[in-house]
Structure 1
């Protein structure tokens, strides 16, 4: 029976009821996830047991985090899913392969974390069979990181599978927090619940003893039960000090542990020895505990006193502590020498194959725990553990093993190399606090140039996400200065370019430019950091259009080689960014698409969010707004999954820009202001410029030119370098003109003209000529507009920008009383804006057309149909229109096939179609 938890029980009950309530559409009930957290003893496990009772036999999967096995990659996932492993054959081959690798069945490495997370979601969906299926993860703070990442990944994507996932997390344990899921905090019981619990469950206490217990327990249910059990009969009767605990203990958890220790100290020595061995391993393997305990002269019958005191629960093959704090109390109460002896006994008992598998890993960890000084043999075994864990994508486990190996070696150079490996793998696991702490203990002088460069890049990544891009760039520059020509500088310098650009610090960009070697390999980097006029000689004049010169796509790409592993991704991303900055949008799109493909096929997850951001921006520049939104939303999810807050900021700005184009004030404002707040707090000047540009576009589309101008000028100042401002200057010029502040556009027009001369792309010249048209008068303005439209046709298609030019030209023609000419331009602009879903701009075009005397029928537009769908439904429909199956869509969007089917079932009536065969014609994807 639970006391004082009626509200919490009701919440869990409702989740299970909803999960079991299918609605006849072929999907299960509504899935859900909940993180139950609080200090030790608050009843988290009891609530999980309550949920298990409601779900019923055969409808529960359960795993428990074990502190001693935190470094064994995928141990928790194996425990949870092994009962349904027979369902692997129903999964798509990549997902089945990922789970088989995680289980250690296939002997293969886990190469794709996202495939694994999707596989977990898919197998849970299969196991539910319409639901409800309950997945219980107790002591999540001690689950191995690889398992927890995969389970949380799946939990965040639950929808209509009929699955309920409950995580219990103890507060106050480093790294235990689970973000992105609903939270339920367990607080202390109220006085009524405390009174009921003590009355029903605790032997008689004197009023004084009862008062002291209540004061010490602070509403903690386990403390209310265990503190009285630690007292003698005299103490319970009030004859002596009723609470024999040290004064000044800070929390009920401490008092509970002291209470358990008091019980343990009353046990026979042989029983305590067996409990210590079990606590040192806590695998639940009774046979292993018996074999290891034999070294201390203990046998099975010596466990009876602990079983009688309900400290442990025994079955034929397993031994489990009734509560994790009993295990902790047992281990902490033992002297150091006894703990070391217990680990040595366990290592000796774990005989057999040392070469592979979890058996060898557990043995190695026990050997390491039993070793107090340097031991090169044990250090080598820990390196083996790290290499095996890294091969199975257990990067957090690998990092811990490398760190322990570093502690066990006496060789300073080897220690530095191992600590660097620990730092690099901890960064891959997203443990940035730990990465920072590890780097503080590395003697960089002992590293070879290659490792020094890798470490500098990791430190820069941590600095990007926790500090500022300016400091990240300085870290990389210092490394480049130190290693000189001793190692390949391209990855270091190209990432320094990108970090410096992100800072918006012109002086820092100049420092980077000064270090770039004068070779073709660094041509793009120099173009992006040096003065605009130094990029290339401008063409004879802005009126002549593009002149001869090397396009961005033809510039040499710096060292991306064959694309294997992570080598070359920095340079390839730099090439894509160069394409965006110098208006070679098709080259940028091709580069981005290739990077995203390679990230997926080669499991280079560290670059996926950046590649998706580049893809989103390239699609946005080409008017592929729905596709851009899909890439940005996926990128934001991936960045959030791995704690990459720097890239999250950019992706929010991209999504804010898309919302601005749609005229979605609430979404644009929310995303833009969130991005701006983080960018300003961390010195990410370029991200701030993108966020301000999105907010300025929103104002411009709504007709508030004055506010738009202020935001866009602030954006220009944040970007800090002319090359980085070109993307927003056409908006700034338009806002200044519409606000009656033409003089404030003059500098922007001059920069645009220089930029177009440097880019030598028709798309760049088209924008420059449009800006010149806006700031000209008379026949000259018309000539600039017609030249701009001709250049739009010559260059890569940018439908949104072309439509904006047509709108502005149409407005100018109407003011010149050339209404017939104006209507043609405005109709074309309106059609494009409606096709793109750019509602605010379509409204402007519609208003201008009506001012020209045209009557419009606003019904039947494609964007109105799509607006009826949720963002997830829109993306599922878009992929279904390409002919993708539900399984293929599920793998692409990290959903379950059942959820995909549910989205289509909901979307069809909204779109007025009955089958997926109708979708291609409806969406008219070639438009």
Structure 2
């Protein structure tokens, strides 16, 4: 029976009730040790009734074993692996060590967890209980929280119990429930029911020290002698001087352990050092000291441990901790060595190495090499946090300064890959950079720059890379450092810093793109033609090439580069570059009018960036999503995304991201006909990036806003700059934008020629939104010139394109102009109008369903469960006026897909 937790129990009961109706939910229950988190999980297990319950428990000594916690949770569902899509099944088999293959993609593991749980849920809810989540290995925690954040309509409930002040309390994106101490009435009821022989004085002392902690209320009395329980207490009987209730409880457990026979304590120490719970292993490792099974009986009678035929488990994690901490250091070392001696064979190599490392002080090259092997195996399984810990321990055991520096650098690099940036910063501070060769020095600098980029400022990150480039001087390791320096300097928007990087770029053709990106005017009359780089080029250089193509309006090249980068990042599981590649892909698709695809890429990129703490790139991705919302006229979503992007960008000096966010706000204002507000936001954006190559993306909007606001006197510099850019870029799309901008400010006899030229150049189809805007502006000009028939032709083309792109504010403007020209508009049933009724997630699901993708294929692409996909379609169909997915292609103007017989 639980005391004083009625509200908390009700909340869990409501989650389970909703799950029986098909909904899903997740909850992080947190509080100090002993506060009742595990008891609430047990209540949930009982309340689940006929529902299936899966469990896993974090064990502190197992934190470095990648995917161990996840394997424990999903072991009862291994028969479901064959029902998963093959990439997901392969990912789980690799994670669990069932094959010799490495885990290729950690997100596929997370998606496989989501799909597995969805498939396993039946009419009764599926309940997943994760206790002591703060001690789960990072790979398991990442996969489980990834799945938990995407639960929607599967009938699954996930509960995480986490101790305050520990790593697991950093779980974000999930609802939280904090457990406080019990109220006085509940304390009284608990003590009355469970502890009958306390004197009033002893009872009062226990209540004072326990601070409402249920475990303390039960365990502090257990540490007292019968005389003390009767009231013979002195001021130091209870551990009053300890800093927390958890420490008081642990001290109480230690008092109980110290009363046990020596042989029992010795065997318990081996069990505490072990992480498997294997009773046979514990007894074999203890045999050297003459221990036998009967030695554990006193601990079992004291309810400190639970024994089965094959397992030994501590009743509470603090008992394990109390046992281990109370033992002398030499005894702990002996316990680890005894366990290592019993762990033979390749399958136990990692545990054996960790036990040897735990029993070693000073340096030991043999153990260091074993830990290095552990790190490499963990990295191959995508357990980057585990790999980092192993590399660090290997470094601590290494005598040679150069090898130690390399291992610390590897620890820093893998911790950055795991998103543990505070740890990365601490590790880099310990590295002697003088001991690194050029290749390691380059990696070291890039890791430091990643930390600075995501938690500091791009300006400081660029300076780290500049200093590294100066130390390297020349050679093959210089190019990736300078390439990233160009991109981080760009992000700062600092013209002088960009010039510093430019001054260090060699004259070699290999740096032609980097030079062009740093100096529009100094690159010659024409900029180099964008080219897709070779497949074996590094990701930094490939992203730079794609960015260059995007800035020169060569969106096809940018798209080709981005698609290849995303594909290769997925295949090689290079998560550190995947969110950046997805950002480039979203930008290219946005320019090409592939708005739904751009939304999918940007949303996925933001998910990854947030998951791994890549806050710098997240600000850009939010700005991209804000731009898409602006085009659609979704004011609330646009404002929210702009605000979030600006909050982080302003605090960290990410001026280019701030400019993109402000441009999104200006574009929304411009579409809504608020020209003066648009001009204010767009000029603010331009001042953030006072560099020619970085500001061209917003110039067409700024020029149109200034013309509409009647402030043509502010256009001399923007018009000159966009003209120079068009000449240097030599791309039809760039020249079309320049001619359109010139038309807006030219006399009538020139304007018509310029508009016609712009439309002819737009015919390459590179920028459908921009072509539609040119049609609209030309149609407006023709209507004002009283050429209504000519105007209607261009306005109809604009309206059709805007409707297709779901650009609602612009469609409204085109519609209004058409009506003013004397044309009657019937907008019912237009795809853009219909799609405007859906949420962004529903639109993306509908688009993929219309293309013929099955629910499982859609789920894999959008990181959802198949049940959630079906739920979105079920909700979307009535809004679209259709009854099945077979109607979607006709509605959206696509061909007939093969639907595989699914209705939704």
TM-score by shorter chain over 0.5: yes
1:777 and 2:755 correspond: no
Structure 2 gaps of 5+ residues are 897-904
Match of residue 802 from structure 2: 833
Cα offset for 1:511? 0.8
Aligned partners of 1:736 and 1:854: how far apart in 2?
Answer: 29
Mapping of residues 75-224 of structure 1, within 5 Å: 75-174=68-167, 176-224=169-217
Residues of 2 paired with 1:694 and 1:421: CA distance? 40
- Mapped partners of 2:396, 2:213: distance in 1: 39
1:633 counterpart (603, 618, 625): 603
Aligned-residue offset at 1:862: 0.7
Q: CA RMSD in A?
A: 1.7
Q: Counterparts of 1:699 and 1:902 in 2: how far apart (Å)?
A: 34
Q: What's the secondary structure of 1:204's corresponding residue? A: coil
The answer for the alignment partner of 1:740 in structure 2 is 710
SS at 2:252 equivalent: helix
Shift of 1:176: 4.4
Alignment-derived partner of residue 811 in structure 2: 842
1:420 aligns with 2:409: yes
Answer yes or no: is 1:283 the counterpart of 2:283. Answer: no
Kept after mapping to 2: 8 A contact 1:312/1:321: yes
Deviation per CA, 1:815-864: give whole Å up to 9, x if none: 22222222222222122112211111112222222222332223221112
- Counterpart Cα distance in 1 of 2:197 and 2:690: 75
Q: Does 1:505 align with 2:474?
A: no
Listed one character per residue, the Cα deviations across residues 244-299 of structure 1 (whole Å, up to 9, x for unaligned) are 23444222111111111111111111111111111111321111111112222322
Instruction: Report the alpha carbon displacement of residue 481 of structure 1 after superposing the two structures with TM.
Output: 1.1
Confirm or deny: 8 A CA contact 1:288 1:346 kept in the other structure: yes
Q: 1:46 to 1:692 in 2, by over 3 A?
A: same
State the alpha-carbon separation in 2 of the partners of residues 131 and 57 from structure 1.
6
Match of 2:542 among 568, 572, 581: 572
Q: How far apart are 1:562 and its partner, in Å?
A: 3.1
Q: Distance in 2 between matches of 1:44 and 1:450?
A: 48
1:54 CA displacement: 1.8
Return the alpha-carbon distance in structure 1 between the equivalents of residues 234 and 228 of structure 2.
6
1:910 shift after superposition: 2.6
| Pairs within 5 Å for 1:191-340 | 191-241=184-234, 244-340=237-333
Moved more, 416-425 or 834-843: 834-843
Paired with 1:438 and 1:681, the residues of 2 have a C-alpha distance of: 25
- Local SS of the residue matching 1:37: strand
Is 2:395 aligned against 1:402?
no
2: CA distance, partners of 1:285 / 1:324: 16
Gap runs ≥5 in structure 1: 22-28, 539-548
State the secondary structure of the residue aligned to 2:158.
Answer: strand
| Deviation readout 1:793-827 (Å, 9 max, x if unpaired) | 2x443111111112222222222222222222222
User: TM-score normalized by structure 2?
Assistant: 0.97
Q: How many angstroms apart in 2 are the aligned matches of 1:570 and 1:486?
A: 17
Partner of 2:901: none
Distance 2:643 2:273 in 1: 50
| Paired residues of 1:212 and 1:242 also in contact (CA < 8 A) | no
Q: Trace 1:456-605 onto structure 2 (pairs within 5 A).
A: 456-530=445-519, 532-537=520-525, 551-553=529-531, 561-563=534-536, 568-605=538-575
1:903 aligned counterpart, secondary structure: helix
**CA–CA separation in structure 2 for the residues paired with 1:701 and 1:248:** 66
* Equivalence for 2:900: none
Work out whether residues 66 and 283 of structure 1, in 8 Å CA contact, stay in contact via their aligned partners in 2: no
Q: Distance in 1 between matches of 2:570 and 2:791?
A: 48
CA contact (8 A) 2:104 2:570 kept: no
Is 1:346 aligned with 2:346?
Answer: no
Would you say the 8 A contact 2:137–2:386 is kept in 1?
Answer: yes
The answer to whether the 8 A contact 1:236-1:242 is kept is no
Q: Matched residues in 2 for 1:774 and 1:244: separation?
A: 87
Q: Displacement, 1:58?
A: 7.1
Tell me the SS of whatever aligns to 2:29: strand
SS at match of 1:673: helix
| Separation in structure 2 between the aligned mates of residue 767 and residue 923 of structure 1, nearest angstrom | 29
Alpha-carbon distance in 2 for matches of 1:789, 1:654: 26
* Counterpart Cα distance in 1 of 2:402 and 2:115: 46
**1:787 counterpart (753, 757, 769):** 757
1:361 is aligned to: 350
Worse-superposed segment, 55-64 or 226-235 = 55-64
Q: d(CA) in 1 for partners of 2:894 and 2:174? A: 36
Look up the match of 1:2. 2
Say if 1:209 and 1:242, in contact at 8 Å, map to a contact too: no
2:646 alignment counterpart: 676
Deviation at 1:233, TM superposition (A): 2.2
Q: 1:754 aligns with which of 699, 724, 737?
A: 724
For 1:151 and 1:174, locate their aligned partners in 2 and report how far apart those are by CA, in whole Å. 15
Shift of 1:337: 1.4
1:715 maps to: 685
Partner of 1:667: 637
1:13 aligns with 2:13: yes
8 Å Cα contact 1:766/1:788 also seen in 2: yes
Equivalent residue, structure 1, for 2:440: 451
The corresponding residue for 1:815 is 784
* 1:852-871 matches, cutoff 5 A: 852-871=821-840
Assess if the C-alpha contact under 8 Å between 1:117 and 1:151 holds in 2. yes
CA distance in 1, matches of 2:77, 2:603: 32
Aligned residue number for residue 905 of structure 1: 874
- Maintained 8 Å contact 2:31/2:179: yes
Aligned partner of residue 471 in structure 2, secondary structure: helix
Change (3 A) 1:712 1:804: same
CA distance in 1, matches of 2:627, 2:729: 24
> What is the aligned partner in structure 1 of residue 899 from structure 2?
none
State whether residues 35 and 182 of structure 1, in contact with CA within 8 Å, keep that contact through their aligned partners in structure 2.
yes
1:110–1:392 CA contact under 8 A, matched in 2: yes
- The answer to whether residue 671 in structure 2 is matched with residue 701 in structure 1 is yes
CA contact (8 A) 1:188 1:219 kept: yes
Report the 3-state secondary structure (helix = DSSP H, G, I; strand = E; otherwise coil) of the residue aligned with 1:686. Answer: helix
